[in-house]
Structure 1
Amino acid sequence: MGNEEDHYLLFLELLNETDNTTDLSYVVSNAAQLCSKKILNQFGARFIPVFYYANFLLSYLGNGLVLFIIYKYERLNTVTNIFLLNLVLSNILFASSLPFWATYHLSEWIFGMALCKIVSSAYFIGFYSSILFLTLMTFDRYLAVVHAVAAAKTRKRAYAIIASVTVWCISIVASVKELVLQNVWESPFNGLMCDESGYPEDTMERWRLVSYYQQFLLFFLLPLFLVMYCYISITVRILSTRMKEKCRTIKLIFVIIFTFFACWTPYNIVILLQAIQTHDSCSYSESLDYALYVTRNIAYLYCCISPVFYTFVGKKFQSHFKRLIATKIPCLKRHISLSSQSTRTTSQRTPHSAYEYKTDRQRQTDRNTHTQGGTTSF
């Protein structure tokens, strides 16, 4: 009993010392501010599932059509077709995760821990690899047009396979964080959540910053600068030739650069603002969340339809599509002009597109160029 009284008196003494202290380091002036996300979550529950399901359907229809045309009319003996096939597969992988996220936003995560990690990883692997394959295809076009003679020696099937494997490896490594940090936990307000959890908050915050800067630098700025450099170089080279369709080609190049920039820039600016966020106000944080919802879906839409956009502006794939329509819908055959040559033969012997032209030096290396993968389709 005496020990208990001693302990109690000691406690009172310490309490009085704490009350009388004048050391300002004891004073905590910053109050923790809790922001209600109820309205934001309601907006997401209405807005996100619609966009995700629409992106899923568009991606499967568009990428499935490109995949079918490659299977039916093309062969995987060209660099362009290998890259295009990998781009289609990356978009299909990405789109396959969208129905899971749409269901999640409608209610809660009902698919278990394993699918939480797998779907999260597939989502980012497909997203990152899609960006890199778009960039790789642009760089390959640059080589085929600006450095056509040298490219005839290097643009072989092995080069395409090694480059594709490298892209997949980079995308997988960049997505390992999702496999490790994603966990399922139960929120008292929102039910089962598939989110980054299970680690100290400072660790989680550090990884979030790594993700933000990785996304902005590696998967936006670098591809954007490379795409702009390649297409500007292609434009300069085309302007120096006597191409008959020079104006049409330059317009297509401008459309590609503008579309890439318009779709990706807003999303990545929002990501950067989240990474360097200095305002603690709820209204600022909520505005960023709303902006992220909208800009992210624009970027995802471009990611899903990019193979269609990149292939069907070219005459070769337009010819394939017309032939496919004429075959499947005979009543439209008389309204569609088709070349008399076999499409497969044409695609193998004359793979030249709106980007392609012949210089005196190229005429000497045509046979090598055709046998080693041709030039790029546009």
Structure 2
Amino acid sequence: MHQDNQTDQEKEIITYDEDVDGPEHHALMLFKYFLPVMYSITCILGLMGNVLIIIIFLYYEKLKTLTDIFVANLATADMMFLCTLPFLAYQAAHDWIFGDAMCKIIRGMYRVNLYTSMLTLTCITFDRLISITQATSASRYQSNKHKWGKGICVIVWVAAVLFAIPQFIYSTKGNRNECFEIYDPPHIEIILVSFQLAIGFLGPLVAMFFCYTLIAKTLINASSFQKHKSLKIIFTVVVVFIITQLPYNAIILTVILDKDYYVDKHFQKAIIITEAIAYMHACLNPGLYFFVGIKFRKNFWKILKDLGLAKQYKEDTDNFKNTDVESKNISVSTKLEAMSMCQL
């Protein structure tokens, strides 16, 4: 989960004197220079990667599986989330100059897209669980995907909008030209932040551990060349999620429960750094698909061929065909595994 409201720590940092050295000065430098740079890099790389995912799954794969639908929805949510980062980068480097109405829209849409991303990630997790562990019914499950796959995505977006209503209500432009949430009464902040942590971080994390534990047990009992690749994918997805999300969410929860940390400058610097890392999750997904997904790499080379940039396309395609031939010798459950896990 990415915490969207500008915390009190960050608001304090803006008021520090740049000429004063010490922890306050270092925190200010991080806020005014480190965050905008990280936001910009994340935005540019993330938009490029997620646009590529949408092109591949819409125009090359034609959304053939339920996983394809969910991945395209995830890329859409990540892309819309990334579009809010330039506004936040400008605010970090300067002030909020876009008005009160724009403040509510950006903060609200920021949270909508974040919820959509995390809920879709959870849907992908359960989709993989069913496809791999329920071999006898998974084919019927996949055949009915178009009847309710897009409907699930609509439900996810509607739920995300409802969950983000507090951001639309409480976001406002402050007296110092800052865009953040003002909670009245203050205890509402604890309730809303706790809810956001549960939906945006703990929920997906619990789902991943539960589902991927069952998936791992199934794959360990399978005998195929795909087993180790699939286990590697599971391990990579979980580790990346934990590394990018756990530090920031743990710090935010600590600060909300104990207000004394608001005056700790080292904690302020930790929030700024871990926030930037948490936001990187939106641009890391395309990289995961490319390095561990056979189908994604194959279609990437197709795009390069269509653009006249891939001279080695035929050789790579032959390699993919050889891999597909080997795949025909595996069991039914392992075929489903390869479809759901290794061909993202």
- TM-score when normalising by structure 2: 0.82
SS at match of 2:101: helix
SS at match of 1:257: helix
What's 1:135 paired with? 122
Please tell me whether the aligned partners of residues 103 and 179 of structure 2 are also in contact (alpha carbons under 8 angstroms). Answer: yes
Please tell me whether the aligned partners of residues 121 and 179 of structure 1 are also in contact (alpha carbons under 8 angstroms). Answer: yes
Kindly tell me: are residues 215 and 142 of structure 1, through their superposed partners in 2, closer, same or farther at Cα, counting changes over 3 Å? same
Tell me, in whole angstroms, the C-alpha distance in 2 between the residues paired with 1:331 and 1:309: 21
**5 Å matches for 1:229-248?**
229-248=210-229
What's 2:8 paired with? none
Deviation at 1:212, TM superposition (A): 2.0
**Which digits, 9 at most, give the CA deviation of each residue in 1:290-322, with x for residues without a partner?**
111111111110123224424652111111112
- Are 1:193 and 2:172 counterparts? no
Letter in 1 for 2:99: G
**5 Å matches for 1:263-342?**
263-277=244-258, 279=260, 282=263, 284=264, 286-310=265-289, 312-330=291-309, 332-333=311-312, 336-339=315-318
Determine which of 95, 100, 116 is the counterpart of 2:82: 95
What's 2:331 paired with? 358
Which of the pair has the greater relative contact order for Cα pairs under 8 Å at 6+ separation?
Answer: 2
- TM-score when normalising by structure 1: 0.75
What's 1:32 paired with? none
Rg larger for: 1
Kindly tell me: are residues 229 and 276 of structure 1, through their superposed partners in 2, closer, same or farther at Cα, counting changes over 3 Å? same
Letter in 2 for 1:149: T
Kindly tell me: are residues 250 and 110 of structure 1, through their superposed partners in 2, closer, same or farther at Cα, counting changes over 3 Å? same
Deviation at 1:153, TM superposition (A): 3.0
Deviation at 1:353, TM superposition (A): 8.2
SS at match of 2:62: coil
**5 Å matches for 1:95-174?**
95-155=82-142, 156-174=145-163
Tell me, in whole angstroms, the C-alpha distance in 1 between the residues paired with 2:98 and 2:33: 21
Please tell me whether the aligned partners of residues 53 and 286 of structure 2 are also in contact (alpha carbons under 8 angstroms). Answer: yes
Letter in 2 for 1:294: I
**5 Å matches for 1:216-227?**
216-227=197-208
Deviation at 1:166, TM superposition (A): 2.1
- Are 1:211 and 2:160 counterparts? no
Deviation at 1:222, TM superposition (A): 1.7
Deviates more, 1:50-59 or 1:236-245: 236-245
Please tell me whether the aligned partners of residues 66 and 307 of structure 1 are also in contact (alpha carbons under 8 angstroms). Answer: yes
The gaps in structure 1 that reach 5 residues or longer are 1-34, 344-349
Deviation at 1:335, TM superposition (A): 7.9
Tell me, in whole angstroms, the C-alpha distance in 2 between the residues paired with 1:89 and 1:123: 13
Tell me, in whole angstroms, the C-alpha distance in 1 between the residues paired with 2:93 and 2:284: 25
Kindly tell me: are residues 111 and 330 of structure 1, through their superposed partners in 2, closer, same or farther at Cα, counting changes over 3 Å? closer
Kindly tell me: are residues 153 and 161 of structure 1, through their superposed partners in 2, closer, same or farther at Cα, counting changes over 3 Å? same
Deviation at 1:328, TM superposition (A): 2.2
What's 1:74 paired with? 61
Please tell me whether the aligned partners of residues 74 and 117 of structure 2 are also in contact (alpha carbons under 8 angstroms). Answer: yes
Kindly tell me: are residues 280 and 71 of structure 1, through their superposed partners in 2, closer, same or farther at Cα, counting changes over 3 Å? closer
Deviation at 1:329, TM superposition (A): 3.7
User: How large is the Cα RMSD of the aligned pairs?
Assistant: 3.0
Tell me, in whole angstroms, the C-alpha distance in 2 between the residues paired with 1:90 and 1:307: 13
Deviation at 1:325, TM superposition (A): 2.1
Tell me, in whole angstroms, the C-alpha distance in 1 between the residues paired with 2:103 and 2:154: 25
What's 1:28 paired with? none
Kindly tell me: are residues 115 and 357 of structure 1, through their superposed partners in 2, closer, same or farther at Cα, counting changes over 3 Å? farther
Deviation at 1:281, TM superposition (A): 7.2
**Which digits, 9 at most, give the CA deviation of each residue in 1:74-96, with x for residues without a partner?**
11342112111110110011001
Kindly tell me: are residues 50 and 145 of structure 1, through their superposed partners in 2, closer, same or farther at Cα, counting changes over 3 Å? same
The gaps in structure 2 that reach 5 residues or longer are 1-11, 17-24
